[in-house]
């Protein structure tokens, strides 16, 4: 009997973000100073009010919960969505999973048949196309270049739609670019989708993290007429500094919700009961900590982008939200690394990790050759120090 692994794994690439994180960890373990800008994880501690809400009641969270989440958490999600996003999902539309990535994975399993197409604007988060491929779908990429603010146009979207289009994934604010769509830009895209019957998957995990007065508008509020095919994905990981708690959710049409319930009933069952209680406290709690972290990210954004733009050979747009800068690094091509001139963004990323310990993720993994994603989920002081070392490494590099 063959001991080979499932052939579906041949379609999937390893996560580039996790790979860079592992390389950085190995260097740090060897004693080298490493500046960790590769992982999309807030460096803040989970706010005290969340910890306090679960600390004294831990024995209460030792049993199973319903597979798709507690009623208390779903009611809290509904209430907080109304407060923060201006629309109110029904409790029976909500599926809670082990982080937003798990929710998206389950959505692809529930929605896709072999040959189905999923439209994905590029640059994209590394897991979107891999999850589509894993379940026999075909990712259809639309190029959203820096000249367009890393946003797709209605004309591009219309041209990409086919009878095979099963879904489109829109992430706003975006990972990896930080670009976000205004209300009018979203309306223009939605108008194009009126002539299609595809699902619209809105990844709004960074919706709380916007800057310079930018107003995030949820598609749940903007396009209620699409409720029978609109899926909104969200979670507590980013805005509440709760990445390790692993709680995300999807608000979806009831048929999709039932499919996800069936799937989770035969896979993970419920997310951690303790984490669900923490998430309940998080979304219903005061907004002071969320705003404090948002303001810190706003300061760090300026520090990162200004610092990158001051380095010869690097050019960076100012992002609208999230906590990523996505500079063009093609001006660094030609630097010698391991006896050869650098010719790719991946080469730049590996060179800067070796040269000065700056860990960031090459744009090839995001569908954007020539760029590198820097997370500014780190202190202003650390960002300045890291960019100072990178500036010196570029100045003294052998070309």
Task: For 370-398, write each residue's pLDDT tens digit.
Answer: 999 999 999 999 999 999 999 999 999 98
More confident residue, 39 or 356: 356
What are the backbone angles phi and psi of residue 205, rounded to the nearest 5°? -60, -25
Task: Tell me the C-alpha distance between 93 and 95, whole Å.
Answer: 7
Per the DSSP assignment, residues forming a β-bridge with 12 are: none
What are the backbone angles phi and psi of residue 264, rounded to the nearest 5°? -65, -30
Instruction: Identify whether 135 is part of a domain.
Output: yes
- Give the CATH number of the domain where residue 83 resides: 3.40.640.10
Per the DSSP assignment, residues forming a β-bridge with 251 are: 94, 232
Co-location of 264 and 335 in the same domain: no
**Contact 221/191 with Cβ under 8 angstroms?**
no
Instruction: Identify whether 126 is part of a domain.
Output: yes
Per the DSSP assignment, residues forming a β-bridge with 210 are: 321
Q: How confident is the model at residue 1 (pLDDT cuts 50, 70, 90)?
A: very low
What are the backbone angles phi and psi of residue 76, rounded to the nearest 5°? -65, -40
pLDDT in tens, 61-82: 999 999 999 999 999 999 999 9
Cα-based distances in Å from 173 to 47, 217, 251: 23, 10, 18
Co-location of 319 and 279 in the same domain: no
pLDDT value of residue 10: 87
Instruction: Identify whether 72 is part of a domain.
Output: yes
- Could you give the number of structural domains in the chain? 2
pLDDT value of residue 8: 87
Residue among 193, 168, 171, 192 nearest 117 (CA): 168
Q: Which domain holds residue 89?
A: 61-285
Co-location of 189 and 114 in the same domain: yes
Co-location of 275 and 334 in the same domain: no
Instruction: Identify whether 399 is part of a domain.
Output: no
Lowest mean pLDDT: which of 13-27, 53-67, 193-207, 259-273? 13-27
Maximum pairwise Cα distance, the chain? 62
* Boundary of a domain, candidates 285, 301, 320: 285
Tokens 């319903």 appear where?
A: 66
pLDDT value of residue 222: 97
**Contact 131/104 with Cβ under 8 angstroms?**
yes
pLDDT value of residue 305: 98
Cα-based distances in Å from 2 to 5, 7, 9: 9, 12, 16
Co-location of 158 and 135 in the same domain: yes
pLDDT in tens, 124-140: 999 999 999 999 999 99
Region for 88 from its dihedrals, namely left if φ exceeds 0, alpha if ψ lies in -120 to 50, beta otherwise: beta
Residue 343 has pLDDT above 70, yes or no: yes
The DSSP output letter for 328 is B
Measured CA angle at 251 (ends 152, 80), to 5 deg: 100
Tokens 């799937």 appear where?
A: 263
The percentage of residues in the chain with a pLDDT greater than 90, rounded to a whole number, is 89
pLDDT value of residue 246: 98
Co-location of 243 and 334 in the same domain: no
Residue 2 has pLDDT above 60, yes or no: no
pLDDT in tens, 199-216: 999 999 999 999 999 999
* Boundary of a domain, candidates 285, 301, 335: 285
pLDDT in tens, 152-200: 999 999 999 999 999 999 999 999 999 999 999 999 999 999 989 999 9
Co-location of 140 and 233 in the same domain: yes
Instruction: Identify whether 51 is part of a domain.
Output: no
Residue among 105, 176, 142, 131 nearest 326 (CA): 176
At 310 the three-state DSSP class reads: coil
Instruction: Identify whether 54 is part of a domain.
Output: no
pLDDT in tens, 285-330: 999 999 999 999 999 999 999 999 999 999 999 999 999 999 999 9
* Boundary of a domain, candidates 254, 285, 316: 285
Co-location of 280 and 303 in the same domain: no
Co-location of 337 and 209 in the same domain: no
Co-location of 217 and 239 in the same domain: yes
**Contact 359/23 with Cβ under 8 angstroms?**
yes
Instruction: Identify whether 53 is part of a domain.
Output: no
- Give the CATH number of the domain where residue 330 resides: 3.90.1150.10
Co-location of 112 and 216 in the same domain: yes
Residue 39 has pLDDT above 90, yes or no: no
Task: Tell me the C-alpha distance between 377 and 375, whole Å.
Answer: 5
pLDDT in tens, 20-33: 878 888 888 888 89
Contacts of 28 (CB under 8 A, 6+ apart): 34
Burial label for 253, CB within 10 Å (0-12, 13-18, 19+), is middle
Task: Tell me the C-alpha distance between 372 and 363, whole Å.
Answer: 5
pLDDT value of residue 16: 79
Co-location of 296 and 261 in the same domain: no
pLDDT in tens, 113-127: 999 999 999 999 999
């Amino acid at each position: 009997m063959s001991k080979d692994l499932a052939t579906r794994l041949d379609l999937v690439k390893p996560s580039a973000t996790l790979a860079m994180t592992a390389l950085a960890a190995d260097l740090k373990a060897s004693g080298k100073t490493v500046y960790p800008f590769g992982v999309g994880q807030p460096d803040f501690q989970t706010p005290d009010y969340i910890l306090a809400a679960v600390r004294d009641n831990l024995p209460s969270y030792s049993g199973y919960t319903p597979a798709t989440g507690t009623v208390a958490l779903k009611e809290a999600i509904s209430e907080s969505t109304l407060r923060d996003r201006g629309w109110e999902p029904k409790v029976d539309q909500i599926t809670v999973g082990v982080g937003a990535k798990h929710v998206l994975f389950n959505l692809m399993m529930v929605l896709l048949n072999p040959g189905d197409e999923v439209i994905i604007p590029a640059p994209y988060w590394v897991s979107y196309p891999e999850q589509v491929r894993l379940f026999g779908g075909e990712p259809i990429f639309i190029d959203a270049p820096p000249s367009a603010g890393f946003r797709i146009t209605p004309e591009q979207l219309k041209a990409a739609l086919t009878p095979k289009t099963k879904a489109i994934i829109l992430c706003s604010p975006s990972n990896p670019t930080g670009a976000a769509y205004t209300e009018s830009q979203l309306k223009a895209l939605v108008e194009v989708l009126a002539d299609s019957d595809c699902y619209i998957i809105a990844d709004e995990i960074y919706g709380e993290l916007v800057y310079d007065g930018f107003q995030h508008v949820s598609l749940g509020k903007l396009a209620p007429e699409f409720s029978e095919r609109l899926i909104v994905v969200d979670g507590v990981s980013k805005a509440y500094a709760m990445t390790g708690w692993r709680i995300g959710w999807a608000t979806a049409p009831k048929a999709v919700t039932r499919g996800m319930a069936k799937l989770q009933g035969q896979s993970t069952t419920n997310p951690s009961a303790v984490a669900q209680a923490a998430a309940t406290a998080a979304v219903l709690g005061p907004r002071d900590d969320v705003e404090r972290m948002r303001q810190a990210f706003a300061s760090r954004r300026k520090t990162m982008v200004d610092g990158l733009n001051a380095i010869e050979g690097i050019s960076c747009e100012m992002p609208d939200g999230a906590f990523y800068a996505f500079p063009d690094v093609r001006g660094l091509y030609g630097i010698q690394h391991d006896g050869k001139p650098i010719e790719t963004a991946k080469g730049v990323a590996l060179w800067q990790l070796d040269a000065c310990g700056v860990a960031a993720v090459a744009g090839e993994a995001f569908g954007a050759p020539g760029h590198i994603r820097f997370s500014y989920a780190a202190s202003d002081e650390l960002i300045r120090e890291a960019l100072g070392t990178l500036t010196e490494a570029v100045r003294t590099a052998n070309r």
